[in-house]
Amino acid sequence: MRITNNMIINNMISNIGRNLARLETYQRKMATGKKISVPSDDPVVAARALKLRTDVSMINQYKTNVEDAMSWLEITESSLANVGEILQRARELAVQGSSDTATAEDTKKIADEIEQLKVQLIQIANATYAGRYIFSGFKTDTKLLDDDGNFLIDVSNSESIMYEIGISDKINVNVVGCQLFNDGTDATAGDPAKLIQNMNDFINALVIGDKNLISDCLTKFDKDINNLLAIRSSVGARYNRLELTKDRLENDLLNFTALMSENEDVDQAENIMLLKNEENVYKASLSAGASIMQTSLIDFLR
């Protein structure tokens, strides 16, 4: 093949250009730390990158949801613990009051104490988490009970507040007031809460001094305590599930972040090697080009 000057120069320019383009690719990867900068660099990596970003963002959101659910349940649990102590105390007082040795003076004192416990119970029923009434079902902006222990709102067992803690994975974070304060039956506004009613019955029995009625209250308290324990164990179980979910989400986050990095991040060690290699190729092509451009037959004529 006949080789002409412009052929050599054109080839040299395009080869050097190609080397420089490759050098630029590695240089860009080095600077951005990413394998791709536009989808056409590798459409498959781009598609996976989009998917993984969404996954990571969702996991992060689920994680905050789990943490918020845990603090809601912690508040609920501490309220339930208080209710437990009150009921336990009421039961003890019922035992004292029902004994034959209790005088009228004693029952009067017991009645006073129970009155205080009742007020405490009503306060707990209106407990809040971040300004929301935790036992009011969906009506989180309204108190559950009035000062006399009557329901201010309709509350039904179906009013479970669900937090999303995974794809199609939800958890109930609230204990609906009627479960705890109305013995598990749906309540209507204006009705007295059964738990408070029991307290009132007890006070009445104490005031009358009827030992049989006081004994009846004892069984009622036992029943209430059992109900409470059932609710507490359910809350505890939910809390456990949240802890497990949190662990799992943290693992997921780690795995997905690793996957994301594997998918789109550059292996810097490898990249530096390739970059250096390309740099050498580029320099070599420059010096070869420079030397061939300078010589011609003219240099050797006389």
Partner 1 sequence: MRSSFFGFNVAISGLYTAQRNLDVINNNITNVNTPGYSRQQTVQKASRPMSMYNGTGMVGTGSEVIGVKRVRDEYLDSMYWSENMNFGEWETKKALLSDLEVTFNEPSDSGFNKIMDEFFNSLQELAKDPSSEAIRALVKERGVTLARYFNDLATRLENLQVDVNDRIETTVARINSIGAQIQQLNRQIYTMELDGNTANELRDQRTLLIDELSKLINIDVSEVVVGTLPNGQIDSRLVITISGKAFIDHYSFSELTVVQRETKLNEEDVPNLYDVVWKDGNTLKIKGGVLKGYLDVRDGNAGENGSPLYNGIPNYIKKLNQFVQTFAMAFNEGYIDLDNNGLIDPSEDGRGHVDGYGAGATASSGIRFFTMLGEDYKSMSGDDFINGATDIPDIVARYSKITAKNFAVSSDILEDFNKIATSSTPGEAGNIENLSALIKFRINDQMFVEGAPEDFMKSVITTLGVNSQQAKRFSANKEIIVKQIENRRLSESGVSLDEEVSNMVKQQQAYSAAAQMINTMAEIYDILINRVGL
- Indicate whether 57 belongs to the interface with partner 1 (CB under 8 A): yes
| Token digits of residue 116 | 């205080």
> How do strand 132-133 and strand 162-166 relate by DSSP bridges?
unpaired
Check the CA dihedral 70-76-81-84 and report its sign.
Answer: negative
Of 64 and 268, which CB lies nearer to partner 1 in the complex structure?
64
Give the whole-angstrom CA distance, residue 47 versus residue 264: 11
Of 161 and 275, which CB lies nearer to partner 1 in the complex structure?
161
- Indicate whether 7 belongs to the interface with partner 1 (CB under 8 A): yes
Of 116 and 296, which CB lies nearer to partner 1 in the complex structure?
296
β strands within the chain, DSSP E: 128-129, 132-133, 162-166, 169-172
- Indicate whether 130 belongs to the interface with partner 1 (CB under 8 A): yes
- Indicate whether 250 belongs to the interface with partner 1 (CB under 8 A): no
Scanning 56-64, 143-151, 185-193, 281-289 for contacts with partner 1 by CB under 8 A, the matching segment is 56-64
* DSSP reduced 3-state for 15: helix
Q: How far is the CB of 65 from partner 1 (least distance, A)?
A: 6
Q: Which helix (H) or strand (E) holds 160?
A: none
Residue from 28, 51, 109, 241 in contact with partner 1 (CB under 8 A): 51
Q: How far is the CB of 106 from partner 1 (least distance, A)?
A: 44
* DSSP reduced 3-state for 169: strand
Q: How far is the CB of 42 from partner 1 (least distance, A)?
A: 8
